[in-house]
Structure 1
Amino acid sequence: MEEKIRRYLVAFSEIIILASVFMLFLAQSFLIDGYSMEPTLKNGQRILVEKISYLFSGPNRGDIVIFQNPKDDSEFYIKRVVGISGDELLIDNGALYLNGSLLEEPFAKEPISFPLKARYLVPEGYFFVLGDNRNHSADSRFVGAIPLKNLLGKVILIYWPLNQINLISSL
């Protein structure tokens, strides 16, 4: 009987260690707190972020990422990557242009209501993000391009509430 209990305790300990390693190095859970990524991500949803991909390469356009706010490293933001190093972005009359071509954005809640014509060149080692809810998002239009060192991971799954479970793919 004691041997059986010992085996259960060892198995339980191994599960705890594996789960801890998984959450520390491979993935992390976050709560969506706000409306800046609607309609893709909604306030109160829980998401899973994988941390491995960006150890080997930078983000791709269309990825939904989580990163530390460059102006306050205690804050994490979740936004969509629309520009990578070397890209030129232009916001003009509610439309977003990437390297001279109009960017189709089926995920955006509404056109950008930005009073100025704005041009951005994404520097080497940085990426540019926008919230899907363009007119209610503190994003790269206001904080600038995001350094790659601030990138934590890529959103891969909505797992809560259960009736909204959904894999997230890049567009």
Structure 2
Amino acid sequence: MKKKNELWEWIKALVVAVVLAAVIRYFFFAPIVVDGLSMFPTLHDQDRMIVNKFSYTIGEPDRFDIIVFHAPENKDYIKRIIGLPGDEIEYKNDTLYVNGEPYEEPYLEHLKNDPTLDGPLTEPFTLMEKIGQATVPEGELFVMGDNRRYSKDSRHIGTVPMEEVLGKTSIIYWPLEDVGLVK
């Protein structure tokens, strides 16, 4: 009888652990693998990250957050928020302008200072040219990859509806040489 009781306790503990892990993964955190070089040098191909799924349930997205979202190609993309709802976005002379004000993008300095770079890292554009509107629509985000010349982002796929955003990501857990927080 004691052995049967002990087995039942182990089964209950295992079921609770599996349900708890499923709830945490589905509602709170999920692993994701970076696929490609669109966020280089900030993120590398095959970096493994944790997505915080409830970050925007309790807070609002901030400019320059790195997010994961469902892209139109039935794929999840990792990009950086450049424009928030109501923002006017423009690039000229390799500088980001939001609502007419220039913004520094320190995460791009490494690429901008590359002596082999021929021309601007980010080609000039206005939001009107890319999405046909002067401002980012309500409930949507304008996102771009850090590796501007090799990123399929809002310049190509349009703005991202908030309901397509899985969450914010800032923690790399694998490979060991890349472990840490990213900004």
TM-score, length basis structure 1: 0.88
* Distance in 2 between residues matched to 1:168 and 1:117, nearest whole Å: 27
Task: Provide the secondary structure at the position in 2 that maps to 1:107.
Answer: helix
Of residues 112, 116, 119, the one that matches 2:121 is 112
| 1:33 partner letter | D
Instruction: Give the structure 1 partner of residue 22 of structure 2.
Output: 20
* Contact 2:91/2:122, CA 8 A, preserved across alignment: no
| 1:106 partner letter | P
Of residues 162, 166, 174, the one that matches 1:152 is 166
How many residue pairs are counted as aligned between the two chains? 166
Instruction: Give the structure 1 partner of residue 116 of structure 2.
Output: none
1:126 CA drift (Å): 1.0
* Contact 1:67/1:151, CA 8 A, preserved across alignment: yes
| 2:121 partner letter | I
Structure 2, unaligned runs of 5 or more: 113-119, 129-134
Structure 1, unaligned runs of 5 or more: none
* Contact 1:88/1:99, CA 8 A, preserved across alignment: yes
| 2:63 partner letter | R
1:1-171 to 2 correspondences below 5 Å: 1-69=3-71, 71-72=72-73, 74-108=74-108, 109-110=111-112, 112-114=121-123, 116-120=124-128, 121-169=135-183
1:8 CA drift (Å): 2.0
Aligned CA distance change for structure 1 residues 47 and 99 (closer, same or farther; 3 Å): same
What value does the CA root-mean-square deviation take over the aligned residues? 1.7
* Contact 1:51/1:153, CA 8 A, preserved across alignment: yes
* Contact 2:95/2:104, CA 8 A, preserved across alignment: no
* Contact 1:90/1:98, CA 8 A, preserved across alignment: yes
Does 120-129 or 55-64 show the bigger shift? Answer: 55-64
* Distance in 2 between residues matched to 1:128 and 1:118, nearest whole Å: 12
Give % identity. 39
* Distance in 1 between residues matched to 2:16 and 2:168, nearest whole Å: 27
Task: Provide the secondary structure at the position in 1 that maps to 2:106.
Answer: coil
